[in-house]
Structures are given as C-alpha cells and as structure tokens.
Structure 1
Amino acid sequence: MSDQNLVNSGVRSVMGVREGATDKTVQTDLANPKWDRAATLNYVGATIAQISVMTALLWFMDLGFERLPLATLPSWSATAIAVAFFAFITLRSRLFSLLDNTRNSGRYNAIQRPGWAPPPLAFPIVWMSIAVLRVVSAYLVWSTLGQTFLCWPLVLYMIHLSLGDTWNTIFTVEGRLGHAVPVVIVGPLLSVIVVTVSYYLTLPLAGWIIAPSAAWLAIATVLCISLWRLNGVEPLYPVVAKAN
C-alpha cells in the first residue's frame, strides 16, 4: 500500500468514514434540469434531526456529570471525559446523520481540478489537524463556561458539524457539484465563522485556536466553486436524476 493510501485509510478509520463499494454519484439530467424537491427535503430534515440529536447529547453529558461522583475520582477525570467526548463528537459526527456517508475515494481524482488545487494527500492531513484544534477549542469553551456542555457556543458547534456532514453527502457522496456551492457557503463556511466568533467572545484563545478551521473552509469553498465551474456548471439546486 502506498504512503498516500495508507494515510487516507488511517484517516477514514479514525474519522469513521466508510468507503462505499459502489459509486453513488447522482447522474442528473442537465438537458432538462428539474428541481429535486425530495432531495432538498431530505437534506433539510436530516440536518435538523442531526442537530437535535447532537444537542440532546450535550444535555445528556451535563446530566451525566451531575450524577458522577467526581469528588471521589481523580482530579483529571472530568477533563479526560470532556476531551474524549469532544474527540468522539468531532471525529464521529456522521454517525448521527440520517444521510449516506459512504463515499467513493476516487471522486476528487476523477474530476477536473484547478492547477492550484491541493493534492489528495493534503486533505486527510489537514482535516486531522483541524480535528485536534476543534477538540482543544471546544474543551476550553466548556471549561471556561463552568464545565457546561449545553451552552450556545457548543450548540453552534453541533450545528456546524451537522451542516458539514450534510455538505459531505451532497458533494462527496452524491457528486452534486452545483448544489454543493451554495450549501458550503451558507453551511460549513458561515457556521464556522459564527462558531469562531462565539468561541472568541467566550475565550479569545479558543477563538484563535479554531480560526484555522475557518481559514481552511474558506479555501475549500473557493475550491468547491472552481470544481463546479470546471466540471459542467450544473444548476445550484439539486437536480432530479436521470431515469434509468
């Protein structure tokens, strides 16, 4: 196995991304594009459901901490539990999505890319680095707000992760390059900016730590737009698939 495949395989395992056995690209009818209302409702409904479940997890964590005999446990126990939770929710957020998160790893290599596009190997390395920064910044916010999980900055973080998972389904799994453009702008990009500001207002250090995530998503947004323009410029809304 090449070093690139080894890194990609390792990151997929750590982040809980399953490799699909088949290509699940939605083959759209661009000659007669029609808005896929069912797909739109599916994306919206699944995102709302994921946000609800992940927010409920924050509440359960607070409830669990109230019941834990922390006074009888080592002083580092609360920190360890919180870091483990944030690592799990950051790396495994897709587990709470109703959308298909299996993906074909050859998509990025198969489409036309701008000359400045990062090589495929850059993505797993960057995303793992971003994951570490997300966990650290979330922990700092939790600690600053009196070890409270259900708080606005962390709820906003759950929203950000959910929107990112939905975008991944649209772009990476289904290959809807057109619809991925507005979704990445109003979803992952806008939400990470809101999270960064919220973290900064809570604790400036936490905001600075998560800021590289916003910078990376800004680059990813420009790349997403470039990929859309170079590969057919399909409509910016989900298009009904071709009839078999």
Structure 2
Amino acid sequence: MNKSNNSGIVEQFVNTVMGVKSGNQQQSLNTSIATTQELDIKAVLVYILGTILQILVMILVLLGMKKLVMLIDNNSSFPSWVSTLLTGLFFALLSIRSRIFSLLDNTRSRQTYDQVIRPRWSPPPLVFPIVWMIIAVLRVISSVLVWQQMNHQFLVLPLILFVVHLALGDTWNTIFTVERRLGAAVPVVILGPWLSALVVTAIYWQTNPIAGMTLSFSCVWLTVAAVLVFRIWQLNGSEPLYPLKLAPANQ
C-alpha cells in the first residue's frame, strides 16, 4: 500500500513539474478523423508559421535576457553568481515550458500514447516525463556552460539553435499528442526534434566539450523515441506520412 501511495505521489510530482495531464486532469484532445487521403495544406502552413513565430519570440526573449544579464554583470552591487543563477533558471524555464511561447496547442497528455497500439518494448507512460525531466536538467547544465563559454552572450548560434530545437519539439507534440496525426509525426520527429538534437549537441560540443557530452544523452533518448513513433505508426494503420484533412468524428 505504501509503495502504491509513494508511486502515486512520484507520478503526480513528475507530471506536475513537466506539465503532463493525466487521469481526471486530461483535457479532451482532438476527436477528429481523417476522411480522405488529401493533404491538409492549412495544417502544414499552421505548423510552419507556428514554429517560426515561436522561434522568433524565443529569440526576442534571448535578447531580453542578454540585456538583463548585462545590467546585472555591470552592477557591482550584485554578486558574480547572480547572473549565473538567473541564467540557469531561465534555461530551466525554456527546457520545461518552452511551449508557453508557442501559439499552437501543445497540451502535454498521455491520452494518445495510452490509446494507440504500442510495441511490447515501449516504456510505460510515466517513464517519459521522468526522462524528460532528467533531460531538462542536462539541457540547463549544458546551456549554462555554453553561455559561460560565450562570455555571457545569449544571441549566439549554439543557443539560437537550441531554441529552434525546442520549438520543433513543441510542434511535433502538437502533431502527435494533440492532433494524433501518427503518419505526419514520423518525418517530423526525424527531421525536427531528432535531427536538431544532433546538430545542437554537435555545436555545443564544439563550443564546450563537456556541454556536448552532457547534452548527448538527449540524442540517445530521441533516437529511441523516433523508433517508437515509427513503430506506433506501423502498428496503427500506417497512414500517409503527411497531415490528412480531418473531419469531426461525430459527423
């Protein structure tokens, strides 16, 4: 009984930190179904524009952080560690809640994962927020190391690519978790979160090898996630690898 209670407390804590809705907290997600094999051009444009806007907003936020940290660093009344602490908190916010800068619906929910057919080796749902919480910590550490290496600058290529990676991950979440477009989710997870993670890790490594090594775990996990997304697509009908036009399920 104690083990069950402890497990429930851990699950609630992890889901709260990572913003995952489960159980009674789940919102009603997309209940639409594909009625044709026709490409949903509007959805493609929404994904592209939504991702670009999120990237631009986060770059503006990087600019704001640059100015704020510059003020702190130039003010002798602040200890030297204040700007580092503030930067760490900022990267923690980005790593855990980057979706607050997105105009797309980025609801984190287990509903899609719970309802689709999954391979036998697929991890239990609770594993995902736990692993992402660990990755968030690694992202913070590696990004702070890069920021320090770049002389407390935020508008630098490694950190800009980092926010691009986060935005691509949020868009993929919209496609897979919210809209349950299992086909479109396959190329997007490969060309988006997975590929961008490799690029960010490589450029972090060039900037600061320890930062690159720290972030490399996310590449391993995203490789597993990409394979899992591919297998889920295969097991659930292998719909076309692009977003299909949807119609409400009750029609």
Shared fold, TM over 0.5: yes
State the 1:219 CA deviation: 0.5
Unpaired segments ≥5 residues, structure 1: none
Is residue 144 of structure 1 aligned with residue 149 of structure 2?
yes
In structure 2, which of residues 219, 223, 232 is the aligned counterpart of residue 218 of structure 1? 223
Map 1:32-111 → 2, pairs under 5 A: 32-68=36-72, 69-111=74-116
Write the distance in 2 (CA, Å) between the matches of 1:165 and 1:4.
Answer: 28
Alignment partner, residue 191 of structure 1: 196
Q: Deviations over 1:19-70 (max 9, x none)?
A: 54213243112xx311101111000000000000001111111111222354
Write the distance in 2 (CA, Å) between the matches of 1:48 and 1:5.
Answer: 38
TM-score normalised by structure 1 residue count: 0.93
State the 1:8 CA deviation: 4.1
State the 1:110 CA deviation: 1.3
State the 1:124 CA deviation: 1.4
Write the distance in 2 (CA, Å) between the matches of 1:9 and 1:172.
Answer: 19
Map 1:156-175 → 2, pairs under 5 A: 156-175=161-180
State the 1:167 CA deviation: 0.2
Distance verdict in 2 for CA 1:188–1:16, change over 3 Å: same
Judge conservation of contact 2:34–2:244 (CA < 8 Å) in 1: yes
Write the distance in 2 (CA, Å) between the matches of 1:132 and 1:216.
Answer: 14
Q: How many pairs does the alignment contain?
A: 242
Write the distance in 2 (CA, Å) between the matches of 1:66 and 1:104.
Answer: 38
Write the distance in 1 (CA, Å) between the matches of 2:204 and 2:31.
Answer: 36
Judge conservation of contact 1:113–1:226 (CA < 8 Å) in 2: yes
Distance verdict in 2 for CA 1:3–1:111, change over 3 Å: farther
Tell me, what secondary structure is at the counterpart of 1:178?
A: helix
For 1:14, the aligned partner's letter is V
For 2:158, the aligned partner's letter is P
The share of aligned pairs that are identical, in percent, is 48
Is residue 22 of structure 1 aligned with residue 62 of structure 2?
no
Write the distance in 2 (CA, Å) between the matches of 1:70 and 1:82.
Answer: 16
Write the distance in 1 (CA, Å) between the matches of 2:59 and 2:228.
Answer: 31
Point out the structure with the larger strand share: 2
Write the distance in 1 (CA, Å) between the matches of 2:40 and 2:138.
Answer: 37
Write the distance in 2 (CA, Å) between the matches of 1:107 and 1:3.
Answer: 26
Tell me, what secondary structure is at the counterpart of 1:242?
A: strand
What is the root-mean-square deviation of aligned Cα atoms in Å? Answer: 1.7
TM-score normalised by structure 2 residue count: 0.91
Tell me, what secondary structure is at the counterpart of 2:117?
A: coil
Alignment partner, residue 12 of structure 2: 9
Q: Deviations over 1:90-124 (max 9, x none)?
A: 11100001001224423212111111111112111
State the 1:5 CA deviation: 5.1
Judge conservation of contact 1:20–1:104 (CA < 8 Å) in 2: yes
Write the distance in 2 (CA, Å) between the matches of 1:223 and 1:62.
Answer: 38
Write the distance in 1 (CA, Å) between the matches of 2:133 and 2:91.
Answer: 14
Unpaired segments ≥5 residues, structure 2: none
Tell me, what secondary structure is at the counterpart of 1:34?
A: strand
Alignment partner, residue 137 of structure 2: 132
Alignment partner, residue 209 of structure 1: 214
For 1:172, the aligned partner's letter is T
Write the distance in 1 (CA, Å) between the matches of 2:108 and 2:211.
Answer: 32
Tell me, what secondary structure is at the counterpart of 2:182?
A: coil
State the 1:3 CA deviation: 5.2
